[in-house]
Structure 1
Amino acid sequence: MKRSRIGDLPMRVIYRILAVGVALVLAAVAAVVGFVSSGSSDQPGGGKTGQIAAPSAAPPSPGPPSPEPSASVSASASEQASPSESPAETAAPSPSPEGWEPAPDRSAVIAALADPRVPELPRDKRLGRLPGKAYKSKRRIEDDRSGVSLIRFGKPWKVFGASPFSTKQVLPKVKGIAHRAMLVSSPVPILVQRKAKDTALLAARWTLNHHPKGSRIGWVASQPIKDGWLLAYRVKYKIKKKARSSMAAVAVVEAPGAKPAMLFVTIPDTQGRRWRDINTAVSSLRLK
């Protein structure tokens, strides 16, 4: 009768059986570990542990990120990147250092022409030679604020306190006349129009603030000049119920990178022998 007990087997056979069993167990363990490792690395965001700088505060999700964190990051990135990501806005220069731009319509001009003190502009007409002796001078005044330069007259003219203008020259006061002759320059103090002629019209109306109360304009000349427009006019008013007048002119020119510049000169009839200085002044206006 044959025996089947393990103790009856030779020792070498038992060792072989044990070796085969251990090998099978090790192979099974290795297969399980490999499957688990492969599965974790195939998931979105999966990777080696050594590549993660810090653990997430919440368990990682294999799907796409939630909307709230994404929106927050996008808003933050947009705020930081917007200055550099919109070069058209940052690189585009402003109309001017003072932030001006031409008016979109002629409503201001229509209102000015409705003013009984301001008649309709005449057809283009050049300024003729006014009474008086021509004054010559090589000296000039630089108006950095307006971007222009103009003649600096000698005596009897003198440089005076410019405010509210940029530059100012005056003639001596005439006894009994509050209004005095002056030559000034500054950026135009009114709403800039698309046409230099319209801007000059508004500027001329504005100069009535520097003439006696009740003054009215009578046009003498209206002509284009280099980079702008010139208007010359007689300002009529009364002083102690006596009719008086001043000869005046306004020139506006486009100054590069700045609001248009204005030259304004007015001389009362009591100093009519100096009216020729108006010709000299307007012809001396130059862009810097």
Structure 2
Amino acid sequence: MRLGQPPQQQYMQPLPTVPPLPPAPRGRRFGDIPIRAVYLVGAILGTVLAVLLVFVVFRGDVPTNQQSNEQIVRVAPVPSVSATPTVSASPTPTETPIVLPPVPDAKKYATLSGTASTVSGTITDKNSGISYPRLASPWKAKSFPPFSIAQRIGKVAVPHTVIASAMYPGESPEKKPSSNADYREIATQAARWTIRTQYPEGAKLDEWTASQKIPVGKGWTLGYKVTYTVGGKEQEAQAMVTVIEVGKTKPAMLMASIPETNKERWRDLNTLVQQVRPL
């Protein structure tokens, strides 16, 4: 004990050091996530998206061995001439031979009954190389393959009420026709073709109503009467066909047929015969 110091200070000891408290834990942030974990999650998401995309793209495909729910409506073919018509004196094995009466060398086209339609203009068929009258209502210009141009009355049904032009639908002659007899023979084959394509099965050409040279140029016109049966009732039609030289081996053809249901228009055949021309 030293002299001069208070007694309490002589016996005091220093306090022990207390370690600092650890810092409070912080919330985990995106930057603290390991980069490999990020890549793994991205790869999983990419795979899932790819699978979903494939499903969406190909879900409309219907395998060939399954039937789709879609209902396919089949359109009945329009009764018309063949898309690739041919004219032949010998029918195919499935066709009944069409027997024609002898063609007169010359017979003037008589004036038919009925009232002639108004001529509203001229039809110029550049594909075939001919022109002929455009008739007013009830005639309407409509598509009628394989003809280039057609005028029709009423619905498309056999027997047809039609005026139409095209190149002669048979095979080209071996050489270009030159005489009236040549063109008369081709016109005869064209008339046979119309019996097969424009009328009900079993139709017959009963009578030639005309056999004459065309007014201008080279060619021949035949007029004829056709009988056929519809609904058990025999009916008749008046028809004509003209073949015209147009500078080619194969001639152009104008044909017209008017059944008795439109017999008030039979006089229109006279108009066509008188005014058809090569271009």
Q: TM-score, normalised by structure 2?
A: 0.59
2:220 alignment partner, one of 200, 225, 229:
229
* 2:234 alignment partner, one of 230, 243, 247: 243
- Aligned residues of 1:188 and 1:252 also touching (Cα < 8 A): yes
Cα offsets for 1:92-134 (capped at 9, x unmatched): xxxxxxxxxxxxxxxx66x58x945322213411111011123
Correspondence for 1:199: 186
State the partner residue of 2:267: 276
5 Å-filtered alignment, 1:100-249, equals 111=90, 115-173=97-155, 178-193=158-173, 194=177, 195-208=182-195, 209-218=197-206, 219-225=208-214, 226=216, 227-249=218-240
User: d(CA) in 2 for partners of 1:122 and 1:287?
Assistant: 24
CA contact (8 A) 2:158 2:198 kept: no
CA distance in 2, matches of 1:148, 1:242: 37
Give the conservation status (yes or no) of the 8 Å contact 1:191–1:199: no
Unaligned runs of 5+ in 1: 1-107
Matched letter for residue 205 of structure 1: R
1:233-266 Cα deviation digits (max 9, x unpaired): 0111111221111100000010024631100000
| Contact 1:200–1:229 under 8 Å retained in 2 | yes
Deviation at 1:192, TM superposition (A): 4.3
Which residue of structure 1 lines up, in the alignment, with residue 256 of structure 2?
265
Q: Tell me by how many angstroms 1:275 deviates.
A: 0.1
Aligned-residue identity in percent: 36
Q: 1:285 aligns with which of 267, 276, 279?
A: 276
Matched to 2:147, the amino acid is: F
Equivalent position of 2:78 in the other structure: none
TM-score, length-normalised on structure 1?
0.57
User: Which structure shows the bigger proportion of residues in helix conformation?
Assistant: 1
| Change beyond 3 A, Cα 1:198–1:258 | closer
Number of aligned positions between the proteins: 177
Code of the aligned partner of 1:200 = A
What letter matches 1:216 in structure 2?
K
The DSSP-based 3-state class of the residue aligned with 2:243 is strand
The alpha carbon displacement at 1:138 in A equals: 4.9
